[in-house]
Amino acid sequence: MNMRESQFNPEQFSKAVLELTVRNHPGVMSHVSGLFARRAFNVEGILCMPVGDGAQSIIWLLVREDERLPQMVSQVAKLEDVLSVARHGADHRVFERLEAFFA
Partner 1 sequence: MKYTGAQLVVRLLEQQGITTVAGIPGGAALPLYDALAERGTIRHVLARHEQGAGFIAQGMARATGKAAVCIASSGPGATNLVTAIADAKLDSIPLVCITGQVPLSMIGTDAFQEVDTYGISIPVTKHNYLVRNVADLLQVIPEAFRLAESGRPGPVWIDIPKDVQMASIEIDTLPQPGRPDAAPAVDMDELRRAAELINAAKSPVLYLGGGIVTAGASAQAVMLAEQAGLPTTMTLMALGTMPSDHPLSLGMLGMHGARFTNYILEESDLLIVLGARFDDRAIGKAEQFCPNAAIVHVDIDAAELGKIKRPHVGIHGDVSQVLERLLPLIQVQLRKPWLTRVSELRSRHPLLMPGLENPRSHYGLIDAVASALDPKHADDAIITTDVGQHQMWVAQAYPFTRPRQCLTSGGLGTMGFGMPAALGAAIAEPDRTVICFSGDGSFMMNIQELATMADENANVKIILMNNQSLGMVHQQQDMFYKRRLFAVDYQRRSDFVRIAQGFGIEACDLDTAEDPRAMLADALNHHGPCLIHCSIDVEAKVLPIVPPGASNIEMIGG
H-run or E-run covering 53: none
Nearer to partner 1, 12 or 71 (CB): 71
H-run or E-run covering 22: strand 15-23
Nearer to partner 1, 27 or 52 (CB): 27
- Amino acid type, 7: Q
Taking CB under 8 A as the rule, does residue 27 contact partner 1? yes
Minimum CB distance to partner 1, residue 15 (Å): 22
Taking CB under 8 A as the rule, does residue 52 contact partner 1? no
Total residues interacting with partner 1, rule: CB under 8 A: 13
Taking CB under 8 A as the rule, does residue 84 contact partner 1? no
* Distance of alpha carbon 79 from alpha carbon 7, whole angstroms: 29
Taking CB under 8 A as the rule, does residue 70 contact partner 1? yes
Which residues in 42-74 are b (16+ Cβ under 10 Å) and which e? ebbbbeeeeeeeeebbbbbbbbbeeeeeeebbe
Taking CB under 8 A as the rule, does residue 67 contact partner 1? no
Q: Enumerate binding residues for partner 1 (CB under 8 A).
A: 27, 30-31, 34, 38, 70-71, 74-75, 77-78, 80-81
